[in-house]
Amino acid sequence: MFFKSYLTKHCLAAAIVASLLQGAVTAAPVFAEAVAKSDETIAQETVSTQKPAISKEQTTAQELLQGKATPATDNTAAQPDVTQTGTAESSQTVATPSDATPAGTADATVVGSDQPVGIDHSAESKPIVNEFLKEGEGIPGTEVPYQSETSLTREEWREVDQLDKDMRILQREREAFFKNRAKEKEEKEKAFAKAFADRQEYSIVFDPDDFTKKTMNANGETVTFRAYEHLVYAKKPYDAESQMLSVYIPEAYFNDGTINGFTAETAPVFMPNGVGGYMPGLIVEPQEESRHGGANSALYALSNGYVVVSPAIRGRSLKHRNGYETGKAPALIVDYKAAIRFVRKNRKEGRIPAGDTEKIIVSGTSAGGALAALAGATGNAAEYEPYLKEIGAAKGRDDVFAVMAYCPITNLENADMAYEWMFHTADAYYNNMQGRRKKPDGGGAAPADEVKDRPLNAPAEAKTGTAITPEQKEISSELKENFSEYLNSLNLRDSLGNRLNLAPDGDGLFREYIESLYVASAQEAIDTGETITKTPWLHIQDNRVVKMDLPSYVRTVKRLKGVPAFDAFDMSSGENNEFGTYDIASKHFTRYALEHSAFVTAPKLEDEEEAAKERAEKLRKAPTVVEKRRLQKANLLEQMEKDKLDLSQYMANWQVIRMMNPMYFIGLENVQTAPNWRIRHGALDRDTALAIPAILALKLKNNGKAVDFKVPWGYGHDGDYDLPDLFAWTDRVAKIKDRANAILLAEKEKEKEAKEAAANKDENENNKVQSFKSKLRSLNETTNEPVNEITKETTNEPANEMTNETTEANSEAPQSSI
């Protein structure tokens, strides 16, 4: 307090003296105001600035004519540029104009007044009155403007008035335009809801008595199980046949048996999905023969003592008889979550006879691997709740214990960049018949011009390549450079804590990490006896893989997909089809593809940003109020023209894109990401870049998850080729959890026993005290001595002293009696 008052008084005195000597006391009012203001005054002024003030909408010209305006104090430079707000294409990468709020719809600013309506800024906008200045004078740093700024004619102020009126009219027209667009969208959604209003409602209560007993041979072992088949897992499905599941339980569990160390209570729940190419996924039924020979994953799991639950899943090609699309994103993850909730609910209620729902393991390949990863990363995320409620899913948790993801086609909005980073040196691509996603008629044989043994629903591969054009090369280079920026933004670390980054040219520690994965794969193949010395992209010395040559790898394995690989400019890819809506078949899901689309001319974000800067600079430099108003009106007209382009017809909703990418959810609070992961990407896989699953694995590791990530030698885009290793891993993580649970249970039992022992000890001590008091009462009756005096004396002593005193009392009692 001393310092504050001392500084204020002496600074004030010095300022006044100095100013008087110069003939202008410009600083005095500022210091005087600071001295005069008390805490109470400041509080009152703060409240006054927050109170809404009633203001009339009055133009600058009218105020001037009435003598109320201060034309010299023009604040139009502070007015927001109306062309920079209200459009999705200029503010969000994937937002749509129909979702945007047009500038001016909130009536936050009255054009011409340059101040928000309903807020009193008088306390902060009053100019400092300086009586020592002569009329027309002004100096920099004060709020008294130069007289030259007021040199507008009456006609110019009338033009300002007219421009203000014009802009108010245009703002109202723009608001009406967006309201009409929103109304049209609402009417479409109502029509969709009406079309499915009478869809059939199903029970999601499991019936334990409705089963079929089956026996199969799993790699020479007889497996008997009960099959509860084709159960709808949502109350109000859009397509019941694509939203049902089957439950398979080993027969041994109904006879108190054990399999592989598991019981009915501890058996893990294995939930494979049959999704591929983002097409509808069928129920994975137990089969004795698979594409890799031997039992498939469902039967193999049953032979190892697992409860198997496999759901059918909606996919992108699903269309209802009424014409609406019903399987577009995010339908597949919504269905998977609904199936998980069905199992957890019915097991908790005792209807499903076996299975530990705290050990649910999801599995899939390709798009199914992406789906498994998505289920593992997004446990209990709130974003999916409205969709789950819409189909009548059970309430409860949908997190899982472990994930098995083979070659996941995931992180789609960044997959094009990763693909070009890895395959940009290729001169041709080998994708054929982009649209075909099912087996050819007549069985599994591929046409003569296609490569055989491609997975079901995967893009076909041609035997001869298609040359990449110079234009595609340029696009490839741009996407490659963009990948470095995306990768660096993730701040990924290796096991030693090194940041895995990339330079703009694509080189860096992350590239070295990717190459090391191929090297490790090759070395493991050598160590297991394979001969790979003739592999042209490897450098091998003394049976040790020294390094790999990435460009040589690309030439050898051949680039599969075109440019770009996923978000095709003509929307022909399966992923474009996945991001469609109920009334639009396909959409873009990256801003880059939208800006190069064959169907719409969308402005580039960088051009929009540059244009916005230029407009702001012109407004700042405008010499008069009239010129500023003219620029503002021109900007508004330009923006209204842009508003007519509805990019939501071509671009997927940003929230849906986010809901299809596990990367956004890893590490978020209130999201339970699975603790155990096993991810595989074949060394010959070109359906997506190895960078994509590697990024997923690294982010999981950096967030404390247990991740088993490898690049199996000799495999391309495939899955379920290593079932013994897969179930050895699931056995290990499941039994580790069982042992951990047993340890926790034992500790709880010990703690319980300790508490009981302590309680018993207290009870014994209390019984001793009560016994002692009873003996004292008996002694009092014999000796006629007051009990309260003896009790008072004894109860203030420790228990052992009480015992000694009792002994003495008992020894003295006969003597007093005699």
**701 shares its domain with 786:** no
CATH (domain of 299) = 3.40.50.1820
Q: Give how many domains the chain has, as a whole number.
A: 2
Cα distance between residue 724 and residue 363, in whole Å = 15
**Could you tell me if residue 392 is left (phi over 0), alpha (psi between -120 and 50 degrees) or otherwise beta?**
left
**pLDDT at site 581:** 98
Asked if residue 37 is part of any domain, the answer here is no
pLDDT for 350 equals 96
Examine the domain organization and report whether 678 and 793 are in the same domain: no
Domain match, 223 and 304 both: yes
| Domain shared by 330 and 363, yes or no | yes
**What is the reported pLDDT for 770?**
82
| Secondary structure, 3-state, 558-602 | CCCCCCCCCCCCCCCCHHHHHCCCCCCCCCECCHHHHHCCCCCCC
Q: Do 259 and 315 belong to one domain?
A: yes
Regarding whether 317 and 268 lie in a shared domain, the answer is yes
Which of 721, 749, 770 is the endpoint of a domain? 721
> 433 in helix, strand or coil?
coil
Question: 683 and 806 share a domain?
Answer: no
784 and 686, same structural domain? no
Backbone angles phi, psi at 680, to 5 degrees: -130, 140
Rounded CA separation 381/667 (Å): 12
Q: Please check whether residues 711 and 747 belong to one and the same domain.
A: no
Is residue 522 included in any domain, yes or no? no
Asked whether residue 489 is assigned to any structural domain, the reply reads no
pLDDT of residue 437: 40
Q: Which domain holds residue 269?
A: 212-410+661-721
- pTM of the predicted model, to two decimals? 0.75
Q: Which residues of the chain have pLDDT under 50?
A: 1-149, 434-444, 787, 789-818
249 lies in the same domain as 347? yes
Q: Could you tell me if residue 382 is inside a domain?
A: yes
In a domain, 788, yes or no: yes
Query: What integer pLDDT is reported at residue 448 of this predicted model?
Result: 58
238 and 275: one domain?
A: yes
Q: Is the domain of 684 the same as that of 813? A: no
For residue 49, tell me if it sits in a domain. no
Tell me, what's the pLDDT at 784? 58
In a domain? residue 386: yes
Alpha-carbon span 550 to 511, nearest angstrom = 9
Among 272, 347, 379, smallest CA distance to 667 is for 379
* Residue 666 resides in a domain: yes
Q: CA–CA separation, 269 vs 478, rounded Å?
A: 45
